[in-house]
Amino acid sequence: MKLVFEPKFLDCYCSDPAASSRRLDHALELMEKHYSFSGALPAQNTDILLVHNDRHLNRVRMNRQVYEMALLSAGAAIQAAEFAVKGEPAFALCRPPGHHASPDGFWGFCYFNNISIAIERLLQRRAIESAMIVDFDLHFGDGTNDHFESRTDVSYYHGNGHNGKNFIENLKNHLDYSDGELLAVSAGFDRHCDDWGRMLSTKDYGEIGRLLGDFAREKCEGRIFAVLEGGYNPLSLGEGLLAFLQGLEKTL
């Protein structure tokens, strides 16, 4: 398992909750004990324009600090996807998140759609012909859905349920009838019982990881990567992330 991370992701680039001071500190501390790290380069504007239009890019570019961090975050997702397509699972511990950023709009702390850019880049280069996205963030990834909704080469699933058990059952049922050459995961930890969503336990995130790892091994030849989305309690973000990655590793 590769962790894609740049120290700059610890910088506070604006005032929204995703950029809050010390948000990633506990996750980073835990990850350093268990995983090797790889750096990332900023995405190029040509990468961004695979998903977003010129007007969107220029609006983000008006805030230089946000723009530079958003390029780096998209670059981390691209790096994680490059590892995955070669058969090495990877997680991009990056910010800002991306799944609310649509081709012509951004909100919800997201500026560029990291996971969509990374997948689109692989598709355009013909490194893959199809992909499946699973999003277990508390919030629906409307930007990701907007970009891929009319496509047959990429599917998007947002997890749902009334409680942890029901959430996991629904995910399992979806995976039973799905496929794709590569599995991409929008990994939001704000559904944790100690975060905004008040639903999933740390153990549940481990089970989610196990299910997704099983799917990747059986149907994607082990090709899987994940990108951080939400998660605003630093402690539960770190604990949930570690459980998720350890769950993945049990089956890959």
pLDDT at 81: 98
Q: For domain 2-249, which CATH number applies: 3.40.800.20, 1.20.120.420, 3.30.70.20, 3.40.50.300? A: 3.40.800.20
Q: What's the distance, CA 249 to chain centroid? A: 17
Q: Is 156 helix (H, G, I), strand (E, B) or coil?
A: strand
Name the residue ranges covered by the structural domains of the chain.
Answer: 2-249
pLDDT at 252: 80
As a whole-number percent, the residues of the chain with pLDDT over 90 amount to 99
- What does the pLDDT look like over 166-219, one tens digit per residue? 999 999 999 999 999 999 999 999 999 999 999 999 999 999 999 999 999 999
Residues ≥6 apart with Cβ < 8 Å to 96: 13, 16, 18, 19, 66, 69, 70, 73, 109, 110, 111
Measure the CA–CA gap between 229 and 232, rounded to whole angstroms: 10
Measure the CA–CA gap between 57 and 98, rounded to whole angstroms: 14
- What does the pLDDT look like over 123-144, one tens digit per residue? 999 999 999 999 999 999 999 9
- What does the pLDDT look like over 80-111, one tens digit per residue? 999 999 999 999 999 999 999 999 999 999 99
Cis amide linkage into residue 42, ω under 30° from 0: no
Residue 27 predicted with pLDDT over 90: yes
- This model's pTM is above 0.95: yes
